[in-house]
């Protein structure tokens, strides 16, 4: 994710002309023309609360599943739980990587009385919710893997259109604010998801039956209350196999690529710790499952307060200052410093320091980086597809995090090595963010 300017007389981001299609097919006309849509923007008093609900609605079930799926795999095969979880998350993220770009490109080309984004938001949200519920009756790893794969397809159909709403419908000078709304919804749900997941840790199947319906509700509410513009008569490029294959080509734009790799490294750094918090508590700090469940709930509360507070301030601040990069770099440095603490002090206190400082950093990052991403898009005609490519950083980091973690643990470096690697990767992300030219 994903996901996400003149604030005081700062110049608007430079427009980069899109390269002509190699097959000679005219580029599709955007469903919401920039001069009439994003340039003017919609009123955030109406769109903002629904963006919050949509992002809260998808992240809470995902965060809950992040605690309950490992518990479910522990029930199915306790001896292989780490390997199975790594396999599941890697395959799911790989599917997500492809699906996000694919469905983003389809939504760019969708023409209907409900607009280009609404059909995918609704269908994707409903499919994701129903398939996540089916995991509550899975009794084998292969059943869990199948359900998780279909869930990722539905979720990314939903997300690829949701993230395109910002560049489609929000003016550049207000994207820091709407990105804060997005980040606040994601971070609050992520933190509360840990609390809810911990509450259902001993009844994982019950939690998986209940939590996903929030996603279905959010999808319906967004489509009904924040409808997209009808675009039946808007021209689009013909959909062909060659066109679809070309959608997976990464735009050769320097700023776009720097933003992509910067996001990838920072998310990989954070996920190395976040995805393994249950195992860090039980295998690194040697806590019982009951104590671990209690601490996960505490961590969730800490994360909600620190990340939510940081996000609430940093997005509007970046709009006012007209600067994004310095705040993104600050978040990278904070995560790097925070990861050193539990490596040096392997204790509950050390981990809580990481979660508190890392929460502040992650809140800043989510609010500001999402706005930065919308300002490096190379084409107004491909918001869905290009935001999907940028979300490769989200899914790619999820694919590689278990692989990197397995290599580190397999090499005998232990969880201390995991924290050190996280710190190095966070600092490396700064080397890609600083050279971006089109964003201050």
Which pLDDT tens digit goes with each residue over 380-405? 656 666 676 777 776 677 778 878 88
Q: What are the distances in angstroms from CA 225 to CA 46, 118, 179, 185, 372?
A: 9, 11, 19, 17, 27
| Domains defined for the chain, CATH in brackets | 44-228+252-433 (1.20.1250.20)
Q: What is residue 386's predicted lDDT score, i.e. its pLDDT?
A: 65
According to the 3-state scheme, what is the secondary structure of the chain? CCCCCCCCCCCCCCCCCCCCCCCCCCCCCCCCCCCCCCCCCCCHHHHHHHHHHHHHHHHHHHHHHHHHHHHHHHHHCHHHHHHHHHHHHHHHHHHHHHHHHHHHHHHHHCCCCCCCCHHHHHHHHHHHHHHHHHHHHCCCHHHHHHHHHHHHHHHHHHHHHHCCHHHHHCCHHHHHHHHHHHHHHHHHHHHHHHHHHHHCHHHHHHHHHHCCHHHHHHHHHHHHHCCCCCCCCCCCCCCCHHHHHHCCCCCCCHHHHHHHHHHHHHHHHHHHHHCCHHHHHHHHCCCCHHHHHHHHHHHHHHHHHHHHHHHHHHHHHHHHHCCCHHHHHHHHHHHHHHHHHHHHCCCHHHHHHHHHHHHHHHHHHHHHHHHHHHCCCCCCCCHHHHHHHHCHHHHHHHHHHHHHHHHHHHCCCHHHHHHHHHHHHHHHHHHHHCCCCCCC
For 406, what's the count of Cα atoms within 13 Å in the CB-facing half-sphere?
Answer: 16
> Which regions in the chain score pLDDT beneath 50?
1-37, 39
Judge if pTM exceeds 0.75: no
Q: What are the distances in angstroms from CA 293 to CA 64, 202, 253?
A: 12, 9, 45
Q: What is residue 12's predicted lDDT score, i.e. its pLDDT?
A: 30
Q: What is residue 240's predicted lDDT score, i.e. its pLDDT?
A: 63
Q: What is residue 25's predicted lDDT score, i.e. its pLDDT?
A: 30
């Amino acid at each position: 994710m994903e996901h996400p300017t003149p604030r005081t007389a700062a110049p608007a981001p430079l427009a980069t002309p899109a390269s002509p299609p190699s097959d000679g097919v005219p580029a599709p006309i955007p469903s919401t023309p920039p001069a009439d849509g994003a340039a003017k923007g919609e009123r955030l008093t109406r769109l903002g609360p629904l963006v919050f609900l949509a992002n809260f609605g998808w992240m809470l079930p995902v965060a809950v599943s992040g605690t309950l799926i490992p518990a479910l795999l522990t029930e199915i095969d306790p001896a292989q739980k780490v390997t199975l979880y790594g396999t599941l998350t890697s395959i799911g993220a790989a599917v997500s990587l492809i699906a996000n770009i694919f469905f983003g490109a389809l939504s760019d080309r969708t023409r209907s009385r409900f607009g280009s984004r609404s059909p995918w938001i609704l269908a994707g949200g409903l499919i994701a919710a129903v398939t996540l519920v089916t995991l509550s009756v899975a009794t084998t790893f292969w059943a869990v893997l199948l359900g998780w794969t279909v869930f990722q397809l539905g979720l990314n159909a939903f997300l690829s259109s949701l993230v395109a709403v910002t560049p489609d419908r929000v003016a550049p000078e207000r994207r820091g604010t709407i990105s804060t709304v997005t980040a606040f919804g994601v971070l609050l749900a992520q933190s509360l998801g840990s609390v809810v997941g911990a509450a259902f840790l001993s009844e994982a199947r019950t939690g998986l039956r209940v939590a996903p319906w929030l996603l279905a509700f959010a999808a319906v509410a967004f489509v009904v209350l924040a409808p997209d513009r009808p675009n039946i008569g808007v021209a689009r490029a013909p959909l062909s196999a060659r066109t679809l294959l070309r959608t997976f080509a990464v735009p050769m734009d320097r700023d776009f690529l720097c933003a992509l790799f910067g996001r990838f490294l920072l998310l990989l750094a954070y996920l190395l710790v976040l995805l393994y918090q249950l195992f860090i508590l039980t295998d690194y700090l040697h806590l019982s499952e009951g104590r671990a469940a209690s601490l996960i709930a505490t961590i969730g509360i800490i994360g909600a307060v620190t990340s939510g507070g940081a996000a609430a301030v940093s997005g509007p601040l970046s709009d006012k200052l007209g600067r994004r990069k310095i705040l993104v770099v600050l978040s990278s440095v904070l995560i790097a410093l925070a990861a050193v603490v539990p490596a040096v002090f392997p204790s509950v206190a050390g981990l809580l320091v990481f979660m508190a400082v890392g929460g502040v950093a992650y809140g800043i990052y989510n609010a500001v980086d999402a706005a930065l991403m919308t300002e490096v898009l190379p084409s107004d005609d491909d918001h869905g597809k290009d935001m999907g490519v940028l979300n490769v950083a989200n899914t790619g980091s999820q694919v590689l995090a278990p692989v990197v973690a397995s290599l580190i643990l397999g090499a005998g470096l232990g969880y201390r090595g995991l924290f050190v690697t996280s710190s190095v990767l966070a600092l490396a992300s700064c080397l890609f963010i600083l050279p971006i030219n089109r964003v201050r």
